[in-house]
Amino acid sequence: MLQMFNTGTSDLHVLAINVTNAPDIAVDPPPTYPIVIAPAGEADVTLKYQPKSPGTSQATVEVVSDDPSGSRIIQVNGAAVAS
């Protein structure tokens, strides 16, 4: 779960959530953009991990928005074991 919070004083518009470097990790279901988060509000997006084989995966998640501070970059990891 990716939780996004708006600590500002005006609406925050999330324009895209990009996942790179890991085909096993995706935003699922894909949201409809823009995601509008009111001041003091919060929005959740599900990150789904579906490994095709045992091992570890790392991905970079970029949250693109109209935040004056710019995009947010998050590193995520997953580990799959053989059943």
Q: Which domains does the chain have, with CATH numbers?
A: 2-80 (2.60.40.10)
Query: What number of other Cβ atoms are within 10 A of residue 17's Cβ?
Result: 22
Nearest residue to 61 via CA among 36, 37, 78, 79: 78
pLDDT single digits (tens) 8-64: 999 999 999 999 988 889 999 999 999 999 999 999 999 999 998 898 989 999 999
Confidence label for 66 from pLDDT (cuts 50, 70 and 90): very high
Nearest to 66 by CA among 1, 3, 2, 6: 6
- The pTM assigned to this predicted structure is 0.90
